[in-house]
Amino acid sequence: MATDPNEPIAAALERIYRSESRRVLSTLIRLLGDFDLAEEALHEAFRAALEQWPRDGVPSNPRAWLVSAGRFKAIDAVRRNARFSALDDLEANGHEIAAEDDSANDEEIEDDRLRLIFTCCHPALAADAQVALTLREVCGLTTEEIAHAFLTPVPTLAQRIVRAKGKIRDSRIPYAVPQPQELAERLDSVLRVIYLVFNEGYSASAGDAITRHDLSAEAIRLARLLAELLPEAEVHGLLALMLLHESRRAARTTAEGELVLLEDQDRSLWDRAQIAEGCTLVEQALASRRFGPYSLQAAIAAVTAEAPCFAQTDWREIVGLYDVLLRVEPSPVVALNRAVAVAMRDGPSAGLALVDALLAGGELHDYRFAHAARADMCRRLGRNEEAREAYRQALALTRQGPEQRFLARRLAALGD
């Protein structure tokens, strides 16, 4: 027989690693009360599986087996390192899991995943540390992968994660789902992290690749997990918003990596399945009456996605949604987007008046899209000299290759 008897086990192990390792880790963190100890234990548990499963077969409940193996390995490690003070805690927790093993409490394990998300996104941690820790612990990305995705040196990112874990331990950030009265505020922090990861993948703030697909896919996966664990309106809203953006990925750049504006996109390239899912989620979120800014932005994206062509977009509806969004979340960036929609509904001079008022306010002075919007409106009004000046200002504020080339093309078309 030429078949390798270990092959099916290895395949099973890899499948179980992919589907279970984050669950097992999140439970081990609760049982061991320490991120590093839990990561080591997870590693040891899979190493033990690799040794024992080929001999004894795959256990009927691999998740419980791995949690249990990880816990024993951790206790061993602590004994070896003679970390006596931690040992008492561990043994107290050890009794707890022995009882849990019998009941195979899946609900508790799902809660652990939610605890892990809320702990990694705790607002007491620095914003960039929340992102790094979430990608590392919840999504299972390596430090190198995260550093690469965020164009950060590996030691800097590793240091960020070490500091965050130190703060969790020393200031005792609890491994807990927030209480109902804190939930809305804490959920904001989680949603912000997920959307940040998505945007870094969708519209990289620097560098030559306009999209970094993996991060966007990771953010969508994370939002799906969160929606499953905590089906709140704004979680659905954020998931919808990301799906609706993602649906246009294939159409928003040319094969050469150049930017294609919404009005010029080939709508047959849009992902209809993602649009349909996004629209259903938006309706669900809006119907709940507990929606917030993400659901409203998703509703705006849904109106765009459902238009048969750019010219037939319902700009009246979009301006109306921006009015609501501006009340919920008053910000100059939202006001700018509303001004662009007004320019589509009422013509460029109406939009330009709003943009100029916003720029006069000063807050958007260094925001490249404000100058790009002004440039576009001036261009459409035939005010070419002002358009050129605004394009130049936008160009000076842009660090992203495809955007720079797009603005340069527009400038060249105006005879600059």
Is 126 or 260 the residue whose CB approaches other proteins more closely? 126
Is 47 or 169 the residue whose CB approaches other proteins more closely? 169
Closest-CA residue to 197 (of 281, 138, 244, 153): 138
**Is the Cβ–Cβ distance between 253 and 211 less than 8 Å?**
yes
- Cβ 183 to other proteins shortest distance, Å: 12
Closest-CA residue to 302 (of 289, 321, 288): 321
Round to whole Å and give the CA distance between 89 and 99.
Answer: 16
- The owner of tokens 């030691």 is 155
Is 124 or 396 the residue whose CB approaches other proteins more closely? 124
Binding site for other proteins (CB under 8 A): 85, 122, 124, 170-174, 176, 178-179, 182
Is 60 or 179 the residue whose CB approaches other proteins more closely? 179
Round to whole Å and give the CA distance between 170 and 35.
Answer: 12
- Cβ 114 to other proteins shortest distance, Å: 15
- Cβ 277 to other proteins shortest distance, Å: 34
Tokens linked to 112: 């652990």
- Cβ 178 to other proteins shortest distance, Å: 7
Q: In Å, how far are 188, 295, 388, 392 from 412, measured between CA atoms?
A: 43, 39, 9, 11
Is 168 or 335 the residue whose CB approaches other proteins more closely? 168
- Cβ 24 to other proteins shortest distance, Å: 24
- Cβ 125 to other proteins shortest distance, Å: 10
Is 178 or 292 the residue whose CB approaches other proteins more closely? 178
Round to whole Å and give the CA distance between 6 and 391.
Answer: 63
Round to whole Å and give the CA distance between 221 and 239.
Answer: 9
- Give the phi and the psi of residue 400 in degrees, each rounded to 5: -100, 125
Secondary structure (3-state) at 262: helix
168 sits in the region (left: phi over 0; alpha: psi -120 to 50; else beta) called alpha
Is 174 or 231 the residue whose CB approaches other proteins more closely? 174
- Cβ 265 to other proteins shortest distance, Å: 45
**Is the Cβ–Cβ distance between 345 and 319 less than 8 Å?**
yes
Round to whole Å and give the CA distance between 342 and 319.
Answer: 6
- Cβ 123 to other proteins shortest distance, Å: 9
DSSP state of 253: B
Is 130 or 143 the residue whose CB approaches other proteins more closely? 130
